[in-house]
């Protein structure tokens, strides 16, 4: 099959590309520049297209059987996603798999949640076969906090005290590959969740045990978090994420047993463990120091 991955160089998309290549599929990655194709994995090719230029997407979809879509967080996320759905439908794509958010319908006032809900609605209205993967907060979101964890001794992501069933992006990718390469997943929505419920303090404690020195949770004050985040993130994104973290703090994002049953239909192994992820991550961050000081647990 010819499969187009939109977002193929991102956290999830890059793992999806590797998984599809390993299965021998004809994998293409949407790119705005042919020069970037030189850095794609062996076995994957680039197709020129731009989410901001819908007319380019119809050309990009020619001869494509299936599409995986990740919409980037941006003020134009809705328009970009709708353009992909329209182009795929027009080109006769047989199946589109879309990465959304776990329990996205519970917080439609959060801008990037609202965008994903509109894209999902467009998929339902299109008549095209689709699958929605609804993922919880990623383990790999922690990768941007390397300096804060290692140098300041603080885990800053303000996910709150109730807890989330955070998930490894490799598990999400495994599920996406399954839905793209197997039949029977059309018109289904699957939750993607991790086995453990993790609060902000839980996460900090796991980094503490792994590093062998105290890592403090940065706390739930979103004004303090937002003030620091404005140094690295655009203002619109800070406000968007503050609403998301307030939602997490108010009610958490915890999985039900029924969700684990649904998830098992697209994943043939147990969810990856957060403790193991932290051990792998710390070893990659500081391989020499890790051998001497870290205590994996």
Write down the pLDDT at residue 38. 73
Q: What stretches in the chain show pLDDT beneath 50?
A: 290-297
pTM metric for this prediction: 0.94
From residue 189, alpha-carbon distances to 137, 153, 168, 229 in Å are: 17, 39, 18, 33
Write down the pLDDT at residue 296. 41
Write down the pLDDT at residue 294. 46
Write down the pLDDT at residue 292. 45
Write down the pLDDT at residue 178. 97
CATH says 2-139+167-192 is which class? Answer: alpha beta
Write down the pLDDT at residue 288. 62
From residue 164, alpha-carbon distances to 20, 136, 192 in Å are: 29, 7, 12
Write down the pLDDT at residue 276. 97
Would you state the structure tokens that stand for residue 65, as one six-digit string? 């059987």
Write down the pLDDT at residue 36. 77
Residue 195 phi/psi, 5-degree rounding, is -70, -30
- Closest to 69 measured CA to CA, from 8, 17, 115: 8
């Amino acid at each position: 099959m010819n499969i187009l991955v939109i977002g193929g160089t991102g956290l999830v998309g890059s793992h999806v590309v590797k998984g599809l290549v390993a299965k021998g599929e004809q994998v293409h990655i949407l790119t705005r520049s042919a020069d970037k194709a030189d850095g794609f994995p062996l076995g994957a090719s680039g197709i020129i297209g731009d989410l901001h230029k819908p007319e380019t997407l119809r050309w990009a979809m020619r001869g494509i059987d299936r599409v995986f879509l990740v919409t980037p967080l941006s003020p134009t996320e809705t328009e970009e996603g709708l353009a992909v759905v329209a182009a795929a439908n027009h080109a006769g794509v047989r199946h589109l798999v879309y990465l959304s958010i776990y329990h996205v319908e519970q917080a439609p006032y959060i801008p990037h949640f609202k965008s994903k809900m509109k894209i999902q609605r467009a998929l339902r209205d299109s008549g095209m076969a689709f699958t929605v993967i609804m993922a919880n907060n990623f383990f790999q979101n922690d990768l941007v906090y390397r300096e804060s964890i290692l140098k300041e001794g603080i885990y800053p992501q303000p996910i709150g005290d109730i807890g989330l069933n955070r998930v490894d992006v490799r598990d999400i990718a495994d599920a996406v590959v399954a839905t793209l390469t197997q039949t029977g997943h059309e018109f289904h929505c699957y939750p993607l969740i991790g086995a453990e419920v993790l609060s902000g303090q839980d996460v900090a404690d796991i980094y503490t045990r792994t590093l062998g020195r105290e890592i403090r949770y940065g706390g739930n004050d979103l004004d303090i978090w937002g003030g620091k985040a404005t140094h690295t993130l655009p203002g619109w994104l800070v406000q968007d994420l503050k609403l998301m973290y307030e939602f997490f703090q108010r009610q958490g994002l915890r999985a039900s047993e029924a969700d684990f049953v649904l998830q098992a239909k697209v994943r043939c192994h147990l969810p990856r463990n957060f403790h193991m992820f932290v051990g792998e991550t710390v070893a990659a961050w500081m391989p020499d120091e890790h051998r001497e000081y870290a205590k994996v647990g």
